[in-house]
Chains A and B, each alone.
Chain A
Amino acid sequence: MLGRTLREVSAALKQGQITPTELCQKCLSLIKKTKFLNAYITVSEDVALKQAEESEERYKKGHSLGDLDGIPVAVKDNFSTSGIETTCASNMLKGYVPPYNATVVQKLLDQGALLMGKTNLDEFAMGSGSTDGVFGPVKNPWSYSKQYREKRKQKPHGENEETNWLIAGGSSGGSAAAVSAFTCFAALGSDTGGSTRNPAAHCGVVGLKPSYGLVSRHGLIPLVNSMDVPGILTRCVDDAATVLGVLAGHDCKDSTTVQDPVQSFILPSLTDVSKLCIGIPKEYLVPELSSEVQSLWSKAAKLFESEGAKVIEVSLPHTSYSIVCYLVLCTSEVASNMARFDGLEYGHRCDIKVSTEAMYAATRREGFNDVVRGRILSGNFFILKENYENYFIKAQKVRRLIANDFVNVFNSGVDVLLTPTTLSEAVPYMEFIKEDNRTRSAQGDIFTQAVNMAGLPAVSVPMALSSQGLPVGLQFIGRAFCDQQLLTVAKWFEKQVQFPVIQLQEIMGDCSSVFENDLASVSLKQ
């Protein structure tokens, strides 16, 4: 049952094949078994079971709230959850219990979803490995997959298996790992420079970044207000669309959400792609791109072509400046956003009583890790009076050029862009930590963050396994507010490539009951 898609399980719940409580308990048990992944910071067992009870009542009376009623979900720990500790994987917020729910969390709860827990991340969502949080790094479930382990057996190696596990990607690595390991059916991430799409690609799941302005940021602890969006991680494209349908829409508490009437996100099953125009940005073919990912990218392009779509090379000339621009804008906004953490009203507070400044400084030194402090300091540098024009304003101008690059390409008749999501498949943690966070973020975000600058929707879809048995995902980028079209194309692609299911039975011991295929057919016509 846990291996099913969200919609299949929803149908099973409606038909009474399983109860929300049974489903909840299975997921909780799996979370315990996969604790070593470190995907969860907080497991909200009591809350989830109570929600399951309420959901069960509703199903008994035939009054289910919708497709998400009784469905286990997880939420990244930078979304505020009322009554449940929200830490952003930082000492600054350890023990902080928000008095309110983020709008997207509230929307999930209003639909009857069961909150399994808060997932692990890089501290304050800064990073692309989920390795820099105070609760430790997240391990990629694929490190323990049969597919990966079999390939490793074929190679001679001397190191201890246990220390050679792979990163989950970041910064929403916990959410991606939670979905990938079947502990929930959907998870919320956040995406500022690729933080949902990157771990999705590394963990072999679907990672959607909606258009900026489509989904409310109220309650999402902000990093870069002009680029952040809540992200959605699921095991298939249809599930992501289902969740987006629940989350999208204007929120009066977030004035950066648009007021357009919300369109339906039910995805048609595309059979004819001959009217589609796929753009391949040539600047994304960088020397650092692994040959395997490159060849899968080509294969995907040829797939579209062979099915009748028009596939053309396009140019996004300012691509190489994107990372630089992001460095300046991100750190500048971070400098401002992190200023709220002074220990006075919430969060960590040090013992200094001498003066407010001394207290703030010590609190912030104790509360933030090196990465966060580094970004605050860089950001403050770029917004110094003498630097403001040359760095911050300059970066904003370059941002417009980058956004215009996309506008021009879409105006020339391209429907969707196809690019890699990451430079390579997931690397071992021991490799990853050899370089500092900024370098790794620059590498990890290289294909993803220009999308955040332009506010466009994008989705990473797992395509195939690498020669090492690890997932490789490709990214589709769509026009602003054309999320439905984007997902429709992604769904077609997903069906064509038939990405394999992760085989985790070995390390989960006697979990065979978790994956048994019910003989009774589950009708999806609801």
Chain B
Amino acid sequence: VVEHLERLALVDFGGPEAVARLERAVAVADRLRAVDTDGVQPLESVLEDRCLYLRSDNVVEGNCAEELLRNSHRVVEEYFVAPPGNISLPKLDEQEPFSPS
């Protein structure tokens, strides 16, 4: 489960204390079982009785590519540069310690 979570969250535990903390959090969360929720609908938003506001589909702003690109560390012309996306994270035992490449 730990490995699965690390892969999904793309955040690592960083040690056994973090795992212990998660176990404690789950133990606390388990207390929810004691509540009788038969026939109760999940509450997603306190504003569920209202209609969601929709804007009309007109372009009123934009054209700020330059401003947005400015905030990225790696940019080529009008593109954000990302490393290859088709390589999955190595399994925990295959991982080498991270070092700047």
Contact = CB atoms under 8 A, between A and B. Distances in A.
Best-buried of A355, A359, A382, A401 by chain B (most CB within 10 Å): A355
A356 B81 CA distance: 10
A349 interface: yes
B98 A400 contact: no
A403 B34 CA distance: 18
B59 interface: no
Interface residues of B, number: 58
A327 B29 contact: yes
Contact of A345 (B26, B54, B68, B87): B68
Interface string B12-46: 11100010011011101101111101001111111
Nearest to B51: A259
Given A212-B47, A355-B84, A401-B35, A362 B9 contact: no
Interface residues of A, number: 72
Given A256-B45, A354-B87, A381 B37 contact: no
A397 B43 contact: yes
A362 B24 CA distance: 26
Interface string A206-217: 000000110000
B100 A327 contact: no
Interface in B47-83: 47, 50, 52-55, 64, 67-68, 70-74, 80, 82-83
Contacts of A384: 4-5, 8
B43 A377 contact: no
Nearest to B37: A397
Interface of A: 96-97, 99, 212-213, 226, 250, 252, 255-259, 318, 321, 323-325, 327-328, 331, 335, 342-347, 349-362, 364-365, 368, 370, 373-374, 376-378, 380-382, 384, 390-391, 393-401, 403, 436, 438, 454-455, 480
Interface of B: 1, 4-6, 8-14, 18, 21-22, 24-26, 28-29, 31-35, 37, 40-47, 50, 52-55, 64, 67-68, 70-74, 80, 82-89, 98, 100-101
19 contacts: A99-B70, A226-B45, A250-B53, A258-B47, A259-B53, A327-B29, A342-B10, A350-B100, A351-B101, A357-B88, A357-B89, A358-B89, A373-B11, A374-B25, A377-B22, A378-B22, A380-B8, A397-B37, A401-B35
Given A226-B46, A380-B5, 8 more contacts: A212-B46, A213-B50, A350-B100, A352-B101, A374-B22, A396-B44, A398-B32, A400-B41
